[in-house]
């Protein structure tokens, strides 16, 4: 045992350290299901804020949805919004504190169903904020009901036989929609189910905060994610399903950048 312990201590020497716990994440354990994308995105956000050294200048807005308790994990000042209203809170904050960095963290139901008006209009006004939009095609927190982004024929607890688009309408590509608005400067769709995607997502988040500093308008980052509990799959299967079903309908990449509108 002693030998084992000595070995471990040897391994965790500072010079051998390749990854440290993100400083701006609190010690509170995530309540998210194993395999869920939220934890990764939380970490990326906090890494970016740490790297840009803007903790003292950042105010985040948590949504209603699985990430309703995001403020338990992020060690920054945060406000909890009513369902869908995060961009309105962000507008109120940014307009009265223009020198701060303000972001919202929202799910698909929050951003693309109940909060559609707030989303569209904050984008259209070109609020200097960053919207992080987690799209997993389902209402995770309330138990797997249909979301505005639920794919055609996809099963949910309110579409147990699959989403019938004749009855329930089509999945909403809100990211394509906001890309058309003059107020958005950076609109991109990313994912976090593979390390390469994670790195790209982090870059996108960092860009968004830089654009915010430059007062270029609203940055909108959709992150296509999974919900293995809601989808009723193992984490691995969920990621495969995401790759085979979500990504063809929600293709990754930049829809709009300040350089190329």
Told to check if 66 binds other proteins by CB under 8 A, we report: no
Residue 177 structure tokens: 């929609």
Question: CA–CA separation, 171 vs 187, rounded Å?
Answer: 19
CB 223 to other proteins: min, Å = 23
By beta-carbon proximity to other proteins, the closer residue of 47 and 237 is 47
Residue 196 structure tokens: 């390469």
Told to check if 79 binds other proteins by CB under 8 A, we report: yes
| Cβ(150)–Cβ(230) below 8 Å | no
Of 33, 50, 52, 121, the residue at the interface with other proteins (CB under 8 A) is 121
Say which residues have a Cβ less than 8 Å from residue 78's Cβ, sequence separation at least 6: 59, 60, 61, 62, 70, 71
Told to check if 52 binds other proteins by CB under 8 A, we report: no
Told to check if 82 binds other proteins by CB under 8 A, we report: yes
Give the CA dihedral 247, 120, 54, 72, nearest 10 degrees.
-70
By CB under 8 A, which span of 39-47, 57-65, 224-232, 237-245 interacts with other proteins? 57-65
By CB under 8 A, which span of 8-16, 38-46, 52-60, 221-229 interacts with other proteins? 52-60
By beta-carbon proximity to other proteins, the closer residue of 132 and 204 is 132
Burial 206-244 (b: 16+ CB within 10 A, else e): bbbbebbeeebbbbbbbbbbbbbbbbebeeeebbebbee
CB 138 to other proteins: min, Å = 21
Question: CA–CA separation, 200 vs 186, rounded Å?
Answer: 14
By beta-carbon proximity to other proteins, the closer residue of 77 and 243 is 77
Told to check if 100 binds other proteins by CB under 8 A, we report: yes
Told to check if 138 binds other proteins by CB under 8 A, we report: no
Chain mean position to CA 91: 18
- Report the interface residues with other proteins, using CB under 8 A: 55-59, 61-62, 68-69, 71, 74-82, 85, 88-93, 95-97, 100, 117-118, 120-121
């Amino acid at each position: 045992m002693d030998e084992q312990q000595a070995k471990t201590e040897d391994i965790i020497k500072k010079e051998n350290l390749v990854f440290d716990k993100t400083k701006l994440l609190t010690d509170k354990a995530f309540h998210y299901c194993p395999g869920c994308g939220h934890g990764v995105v939380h970490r990326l956000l906090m890494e970016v804020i740490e790297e840009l050294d803007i903790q003292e200048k950042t105010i985040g807005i948590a949504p209603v949805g699985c990430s309703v308790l995001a403020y338990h994990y992020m060690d920054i000042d945060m406000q909890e919004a009513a369902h869908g209203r995060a961009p309105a809170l962000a507008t109120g904050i940014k307009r009265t504190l223009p020198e701060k960095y303000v972001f919202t963290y929202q799910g698909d139901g929050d951003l693309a169903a109940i909060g559609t008006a707030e989303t569209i209009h904050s984008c259209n006004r070109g609020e200097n904020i960053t919207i992080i939009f987690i799209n997993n095609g389902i209402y995770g927190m309330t138990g797997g009901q249909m979301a505005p982004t639920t794919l055609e024929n996809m099963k949910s607890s309110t579409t147990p036989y699959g989403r019938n688009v004749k009855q329930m309408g089509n999945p909403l590509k809100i990211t394509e929609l906001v890309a058309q608005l003059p107020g958005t400067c950076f609109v991109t769709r990313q994912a976090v189910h593979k390390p390469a995607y994670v790195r790209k997502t982090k870059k996108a988040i960092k860009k968004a905060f830089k654009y915010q500093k430059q007062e270029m308008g609203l940055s909108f980052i959709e992150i296509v994610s999974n919900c293995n509990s809601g989808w009723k799959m193992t984490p691995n299967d969920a990621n495969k399903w995401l790759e085979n079903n979500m990504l063809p309908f929600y293709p990754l990449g930049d829809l709009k950048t300040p350089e190329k509108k």
